[in-house]
Amino acid sequence: MIELDNVSYQYKGSDTTNLNNFSLTIQKGECVLLCGKSGCGKTTVTKLVNGIIPYLSNGEKQGLVKLNNQNIENIPMYKLSQIVGSVFQNPKSQFFNLDTDSELTFALENQGLPVDKIKERLEEVTNKLAIHHLRKRNIFELSGGEKQLIAIASVYMANPEIFVLDEPTANLDLLAIDTLKEILLYMKQEGKTILIAEHRLSYLKEIVDKVVFMENGFLKEIYTNKEFYNLSDSKRKSLGLRRLHDEIEEVSGNRYTKKEISVCLNNISISYGKKSILTNISLKAHKGDIIGITGSNGIGKSSLCRTICGLHSLTKGNITYSENLARIPIRLQMSYLIMQDVNHQLFGESVEDECMMNNDTATVKQIEDILKIMDLFSYRKKHPMALSGGQKQRLAIAISLLLKKDIYIFDEPTSGLDYVSMCSVREQIISLTKKGATVFLVTHDMELLDTLCNRCLFLCSDKIVEIFRDKNNYSVHVKRMLLENRE
C-alpha cells in the first residue's frame, strides 16, 4: 500500500540531511509505529506519506514514495487528501473552522458531495465515535482531548484508507488517550492502514503490528509488536524511549520534605465573571515540595495556577506565602509561571538581553553563571526565538532564577517531549527544589508525575484530594479518580 524506497530528505535551511536512505513498506491494514528521540525524522516520514513534503515544504528530496504503486508526487494534493487522512500534534491549529459541525463536514464539502450524503455520514460518524456531546460546539470551548477527538472524527468523516497521525496524544489526558486507543482499534478492525509517530508508547501496545525505531534520520531497527513491548526497561531507556508499560514503574514511596510551610491556600474560591470555577479549596505546600496537580480537562487547573501566581484574583479566602498574607503584587513578585508555550514569555533580542530585561539587580557575572549552569552560555548572542524548544524552556527558568523567585508553576512542561528531554526537565525541577523552591506541576504526563512528584493532588471543582502512593503509583489512582469524576 505505502512504499518508501531509499528516501532522503533535507529541509531548506537545515545543515544536515533530516532523513537518510529510508526504506519501508506498509501493507494494507497494517499499523506501524514510528518512534525515536525528537528530531529523529519521525515527522518527516509522516509528511512524506501525507504529501506535505514536497507540496508545502521545499527541501531536497531523493528517492521515491509510492502509494498503491503510484508515485505520490504525481497525485494532486486534493486527490491524495481523499486517500490519506492526517491528524496533527497541535489540536489548537488544525481546525480550519470555528465550530465543530463545519469542521466535521469540511472535507466532504470540499469534495462537493450532495448535502443529504454529508448529513447521513455525519450522523453515522457521530454514532460510531460517540461524539454527540461535541456537536454544534465552539472550537475554543473544547478541551485539548475533545479537540483532538474532533480532529480525528473530521478526518474519519471522509473515510480515507490510510490514517497518518503525528504525536496525537501530546496534549491529552489519560481518559482521552483511552478514547483515542478505542478509535484506533476500531479503525484497524475496519481494515484501515495506520501510520503513527509517537513518544507515548504504552497505549499502542494492542494496536501496532510493527515498530520502526529511528535515530538521527536513520532507520535503526524494525521490531514486531512482541519484540518491542518485551524490551527490558534499561534497553528502552538506552534507546531514549518513553515507558512501554504504565504499570511497572518503581514506587518510590511518599517522600516528605522539610516541614517549612511555603504556600497556603485557605478556603479559596475562584470565578471568571459570574461563572464560578473553584470553591473552597485549601492546600498546604512546603519548601522543596514538587506537587503534581491533575484532574479532568477543563476543571480549573490553570485557573488555580494563575491565581497562585497572582494573575487572577480570589473571590473568597486568602493565600499566604511563608505564613504572611500574599496579595496579588506579592504573589506576582514571588512566583513564576512557566507556560506550556514558552514562546509567549520570551521578549528579548538575544539570550543575554532577555536575562537583563526588567532586572536591575542581576550583575553580568550572575547572568553568565546562570547561563553556564543552564547550558545556554554558547547561545548568549542568539535570538531567543531561534533556540530549540528545550533551550527556550531552560532560558525561561534561567530568567526566573535571576529574578530570585520562590514558587514555580510549570504548566505541562513535557507535552510532546521524548525521554531524554523529559529527564532533563526533571533534573531542572529537582535542582530548583534543592534551592528551597516550591514547585507546582500541572501535567497529564503520568510518567513525569510518577517519577518526579513527591505529592500528587487531584483537583475537583469543590475540593482538592491528595493522592498517596501505596503499592500502586500515582497514575493508577489518577486514572481511577478520573473515571469516578466523569460526568
Partner 1 sequence: MGHLTLDVRTKLLLILYSSIVVFAFYSFWLETILIILLGTIQFLSKKSLVSLRLITLYVIFVLLQIFLLPKLTGTLLMMTSFFVVSFRRLFPCFLSGILLINTTTVSELTSGLSKLKIPRQIIIPLTVTLRYIPTVKEEFGYIKDAMKIRKFKIRKDKFFSDILQHIECYYVPLLVSASQISDELSTSAVTRGIENPCKKTFLHPCSFGKFDVIIVSMLVIVLICIINGTF
List of residues contacting partner 1 (CB under 8 A): 50-52, 55-56, 76-78, 81-82, 84-86, 88, 90, 92-99, 101-102, 105-115, 118-119, 140, 154-155, 158, 306, 309-311, 332-333, 336-337, 339, 341, 343-347, 357-358, 385, 399, 403
Nearer to partner 1, 106 or 203 (CB): 106
Nearer to partner 1, 90 or 366 (CB): 90
Minimum CB–partner distance for residue 309 and partner 1 (Å) = 7
Minimum CB–partner distance for residue 65 and partner 1 (Å) = 15
Minimum CB–partner distance for residue 354 and partner 1 (Å) = 10
Contact present, 380 and 394 (Cβ < 8 Å): no
Minimum CB–partner distance for residue 271 and partner 1 (Å) = 16
Buried b or exposed e, range 432-460, using 16+ CB within 10 angstroms = bbeeebbbbbbbbbbbbbbbbbbbbbbbb
Cis amide prior to 54 (ω within 30 degrees):
yes
For every residue of 53-72, which 3-state class applies, written as one string? HHHCCCCEEEEEEEECCEEH
Nearer to partner 1, 286 or 383 (CB): 383
Q: Which helix (H) or strand (E) holds 13?
A: none
Alpha-carbon distances, residue 163 vs 28, 87, 193, 477 (angstroms):
11, 8, 6, 33
Minimum CB–partner distance for residue 255 and partner 1 (Å) = 29
Q: At what angle do helices 144-157 and 115-129 cross, to 10 degrees?
A: 130
Minimum CB–partner distance for residue 237 and partner 1 (Å) = 32
Contact present, 169 and 197 (Cβ < 8 Å): no
Nearer to partner 1, 21 or 333 (CB): 333
Measured CA to CA, the distance from residue 62 to residue 54 in angstroms comes to 11
Contact present, 419 and 387 (Cβ < 8 Å): no
| 464 SS3 class | strand
Nearer to partner 1, 119 or 258 (CB): 119
Nearer to partner 1, 133 or 136 (CB): 136
Minimum CB–partner distance for residue 337 and partner 1 (Å) = 6
Nearer to partner 1, 195 or 244 (CB): 195
Minimum CB–partner distance for residue 93 and partner 1 (Å) = 4
Alpha-carbon distances, residue 145 vs 123, 189, 194, 286, 424 (angstroms):
21, 23, 20, 32, 26
Contact present, 212 and 6 (Cβ < 8 Å): no
Nearer to partner 1, 256 or 347 (CB): 347
Residue 167: CB atoms within 10 A of its CB come to 21
* The dihedral sign for the CA sequence 278, 280, 286, 291: negative
Measured CA to CA, the distance from residue 155 to residue 236 in angstroms comes to 32
Minimum CB–partner distance for residue 51 and partner 1 (Å) = 7
Measured CA to CA, the distance from residue 93 to residue 47 in angstroms comes to 17
Residue 191: CB atoms within 10 A of its CB come to 9
Nearer to partner 1, 106 or 223 (CB): 106
Measured CA to CA, the distance from residue 9 to residue 188 in angstroms comes to 30
Nearer to partner 1, 35 or 409 (CB): 409
* Alpha helices in 35-75, H assignment, sequence order: 42-50, 52-55
Nearer to partner 1, 158 or 241 (CB): 158
Measured CA to CA, the distance from residue 165 to residue 88 in angstroms comes to 6
Nearer to partner 1, 240 or 413 (CB): 413
Measured CA to CA, the distance from residue 39 to residue 242 in angstroms comes to 15
Minimum CB–partner distance for residue 105 and partner 1 (Å) = 5
Compute and round to an integer the Cα radius of gyration of the chain.
Answer: 24
Minimum CB–partner distance for residue 363 and partner 1 (Å) = 19
Contact present, 428 and 247 (Cβ < 8 Å): no
Minimum CB–partner distance for residue 432 and partner 1 (Å) = 16
Closest CA to 336 of 420, 427, 263: 263
Alpha-carbon distances, residue 130 vs 108, 122, 153, 183 (angstroms):
20, 12, 10, 10
